[in-house]
Chains A and B, each alone.
Chain A
């Protein structure tokens, strides 16, 4: 990274004639006005589709000609214009990215077309039970917090977005203080610096990274949200709440404990639900983070008749984990697994750049990924078990079940002890 100039990260690897490029921002969907949910995603895509004032067709054909792909990923705390290109076409590719960032056409007709396409995407989501369950899980866990909001937006919020909103959004996100350049592959440092500098100089000045969203707070008791969809032979079940962030002193303790609970194929949850009972093809638990703590969740998808007993079992396993913790031999095994498998977190140049960017974009302590092994090694049994109790709430918990309510609703309700609220939502509710 240079002193006064763009932040540039490069992992050189000349083994293949490919170059991965990503230009990431430090502002994203969380900074969109709530009434304009989906703005960051729309703005970034419009920018990519109108680079240099060209038509979307011309741009797509140009990308294909280069042997490249270029996309726009929008997240809560940032967006990234990123892609991969054959080494021989890098000059043209970076030129196109520059045109997108510094001279987008942002044409009105393309904006309207993009909005219609996004509405069609919203319609497609209705076919994905897994996606629908996930959507309602995040809404329930995070309620009014930005992490409960959809990055894609809604019918209504999409309708409200104008080209002026798009311009303001892009100026906020793709400003000198806010962008980070990442490269991996057959590229040398001098060229990476030079092309980054050329783009960076043409970007507007801005405010840099906005403050992160407030810390999400667990509340609301035990909530059951039943997403009612007819004719389901199978359910989608998500159970959980708020997890931890790598800044939390007990994050690595919780990571180790979760590895024992549901982080691998031989973890407790997977063994009990899948291996012993055959109830679900998948059964795992995971922790997520952004700039703040994201969710801790258990995911299973048993057939409709097994949904209630599966929920009972999951809650029982969770409670045992919370109350009795993990065992010394489980701790040792989980630590060995996490340490040994690190080889695959960094076995390509693109992954190694991704780790560096992750530290900056999600406010991790600098160098934390490089210290992963020692941080895991240092976790004690007491720390792991204390982390479960301090981070996981048994009282404030969301249980989302997607299934056919008329067939299994009452059994599911009866499977959740100490339930404080229940809500049934039709699957096609926006």
Chain B
């Protein structure tokens, strides 16, 4: 099928003037501007009088609509003893509401042919529904209903706590990499809420009450803490009219301050040793890294690609191919609101020690701190980043996720393309300076996993790290 067809249906300002006739203040929608999103699409930004942010993208290349709701609440908004409540709440949002019996939300979505999912992370919670375009209106009704009219009762909360505890067993307790990653963040951060996992500590999950959930809901699930991103085969007038009807009756809430105390600078390497039931040694490293909105983030993301982007990247080549020390090598730079971690995970091959792995990693990291990367390497990375961005935009779901993520973390929904343009302004010398600023041993945390191949001894921990 499909040739591009993304002509905006009407002038947004004239449209909102028409829609606002006779509406009270909360229900009025205002056009706040537009942004190019790649070469052929456009994001239009609106806000409702009650504070609800709305981002619309008309794209008629498939008869589907992505309807995403982002709330600016994640595990960074939690407190010790109540870790994991943002994630538990994401689960509870699929339960009973004042108008919908338990199970009816999912049942109706399935009947409409929708695909739905949700995710919680450190800075946000994200609900996504992909639906045939003809079913948009009902999705708006269902989503708005659960934003303000969720019913929280003991049986559902207890059952969902058990589900989340099982999710934690699956992702952390019985998963070596999950357990090690959790310890890395708990050791690298001592003050900032990024030190606890989004899924929460098991004892906190078990301790949540209905009252905890009600308080959380009333505090954070409000129109002025949410952004709707709607992408696909839409008519903006029809969409905005429906959103006015669905959300216009909600009032803005008083949101708590999100100013957090900054994590103190790390001045010495931290190391933690764990023993796990796994056949080979593993290491997980985290260097303190800048926030997504910091000017150094983009150069550091280029360096992440230099080290881990594909089979020709430096660390993959050195560890897997040239020296045959590792079976698996991965790296990532956390895209967060506040400073996070530049992470490295290496799973060794049989008989290869953690020290050998670390030595090889350090050799490559030292090279990155001493020599600028070559122009050829830089060109390769730019092409890889361009490919990655475009691949993520092949569906309405992908577009809505990209737009919503950058909007919620940076306040700029088209930042994905801006970053692509920003690459051309970087040069290898700048990258070298950024590497020297962040990729130092004194600012890193190292988790070493010793293999334990039988059940003779229990998990043991040593070192100067932090636990729960």
Contacts and interface: CB of A to CB of B under 8 A. Distances in A.
Interface of A: 11, 13-18, 56-57, 60-61, 63-69, 84-86, 89, 113, 116-117, 120-121, 123-124, 126-127, 129, 229-234, 264-266, 271, 274-282, 301-303, 333, 336-337, 339-344, 347-350, 352, 404, 428
Contact of A347 (B64, B161, B390): B64
B9 interface: no
B277 interface: yes
13 contacts: A11-B1, A18-B390, A61-B312, A64-B312, A84-B387, A86-B383, A129-B174, A233-B174, A234-B166, A278-B163, A280-B163, A336-B113, A349-B1
A101 to B, nearest CB: 19
Given A340-B113, A347-B62, A348-B394, A68 B387 contact: yes
Given A126-B278, A343-B63, A232 B312 contact: no
- Chain B interface size band reads 35 or more
A277 B159 contact: yes
Given A127-B279, A274-B163, A337-B110, A113 B394 contact: no
A278 B161 contact: yes
B279 A14 contact: no
Interface in B112-144: 112-115, 130, 132, 135
Contacts of A339: 113
B371 interface: no
A341 B2 contact: no
A14 B4 contact: yes
Interface in B339-360: 347, 349-350
Given A63-B310, A229-B277, A234-B170, A278 B162 contact: yes
A89 B379 CA distance: 13
Contacts of A275: 102-103, 159
Q: Which one of A69, A229, A281, A343 has the highest number of Cβ atoms from chain B below 10 Å of its Cβ?
A: A343
B173 A336 contact: no
B460 to A, nearest CB: 13
Given A127-B279, A404-B455, 10 more contacts: A126-B278, A127-B278, A230-B454, A275-B159, A278-B158, A280-B166, A343-B62, A344-B113, A347-B395, A352-B1
A57 B312 contact: yes
Contact of A120 (B327, B391, B393, B396): B327
Q: Which one of B64, B161, B175, B387 has the highest number of Cβ atoms from chain A below 10 Å of its Cβ?
A: B387
B386 A279 contact: no
Nearest to B104: A266
B107 interface: yes
A56 B311 CA distance: 9
B353 to A, nearest CB: 15
Contact of A13 (B1, B165, B390): B1
B387 A67 contact: yes
Q: Which one of B113, B174, B350, B376 has the highest number of Cβ atoms from chain A below 10 Å of its Cβ?
A: B174
B387 A69 contact: yes
A272 to B, nearest CB: 12
Contacts of A85: 387
Q: Which one of A120, A229, A333 has the highest number of Cβ atoms from chain B below 10 Å of its Cβ?
A: A120
A333 B64 CA distance: 20
Contacts of B327: 117, 120-121, 123-124
Contacts of A17: 390
A341 B62 contact: no
A13 B1 CA distance: 7
Q: Which one of B103, B161, B326 has the highest number of Cβ atoms from chain A below 10 Å of its Cβ?
A: B103
B394 A16 contact: yes
A275 B104 CA distance: 12
A232 B174 contact: yes
Given A116-B324, A333-B111, A303 B349 contact: no
B225 interface: no
3 nearest CB pairs, A to B = A340-B113, A278-B162, A230-B455
A233 B380 contact: no
B213 interface: no
A279 B166 contact: yes
Contact of A348 (B135, B160, B395): B395
Nearest to A13: B2
Contacts of A86: 383, 386-387, 390
Contacts of B279: 123, 126-127, 428
Contacts of B100: none
B25 interface: no
Contacts of B2: 13, 15, 349
Contact of B111 (A57, A89, A340): A340
Contacts of B349: 120, 123
Interface in B302-338: 309-312, 317, 320-321, 324, 326-328
A113 B158 CA distance: 52
A85 B328 CA distance: 25
B231 to A, nearest CB: 12
B97 to A, nearest CB: 15
Q: Which one of B94, B162, B280 has the highest number of Cβ atoms from chain A below 10 Å of its Cβ?
A: B162
Contacts of B312: 57, 60-61, 63-64
Given A18-B390, A266-B103, A271-B103, A301 B110 contact: no
B370 interface: no
A64 B103 contact: no
B15 interface: no
B113 A281 contact: no
Interface in B26-65: 40, 59, 61-64
Contacts of B173: 233-234
B384 interface: yes
Contacts of A336: 111, 113
Contacts of B162: 277-279
Given A13-B2, A234-B174, A264-B110, A57 B61 contact: no
A348 B62 contact: yes
Contacts of A348: 62, 394-395
A302 B321 contact: no
B354 to A, nearest CB: 16
B384 A343 contact: no
A65 B374 CA distance: 13
